């Protein structure tokens, strides 16, 4: 039973557990994902673009959507890693998350 998130462009895949945020997973795996506000939805530095498996995450709340208005290279698949919570809905799944902070131009290609 494989439940994981794949972080791009690093190409690293890490196991996930229900209730974890994408930021929790990245930090546990020592993936460099900025989070200036400490994961409190007060900035956009943990902006990621979900290119697959969005259905395995909780939907964004209005406070996240409002904050994402400020994100560079934002698109319809944008999430804040500190707010995207893993929910278990299948025995096997992989969520693909592109770290938008790498470069805005590259991130925009993922949208």
Interval 17-47: pLDDT, tens: 899 999 999 999 999 899 999 999 999 999 9
Contacts of 91 (CB under 8 A, 6+ apart): 1, 3
Q: What is the model's pLDDT at position 32?
A: 86
Judge whether 102 and 46 are in contact, CB under 8 Å: no
Interval 48-98: pLDDT, tens: 999 999 999 999 999 999 999 999 889 999 999 999 999 977 778 888 998
Claim: this prediction has a pTM higher than 0.85: yes
Fold held by 3-109: Ubiquitin-like (UB roll) (3.10.20)
Judge whether 26 and 82 are in contact, CB under 8 Å: no
């Amino acid at each position: 039973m494989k439940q994981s998130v794949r972080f791009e462009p690093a190409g690293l895949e890490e196991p996930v557990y229900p209730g974890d945020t994408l930021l929790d997973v990245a930090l546990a795996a020592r993936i460099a994902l900025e989070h200036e506000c400490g994961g409190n939805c007060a900035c956009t530095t943990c902006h990621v673009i979900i290119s697959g498996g969005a259905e395995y995450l909780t939907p964004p709340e209005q406070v996240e959507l409002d904050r994402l208005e400020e994100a560079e290279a934002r698109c319809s698949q944008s999430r804040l890693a500190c707010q995207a919570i893993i929910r278990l809905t299948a025995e096997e799944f992989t969520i693909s998350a592109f770290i938008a902070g790498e470069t805005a131009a590259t991130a925009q290609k993922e949208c």
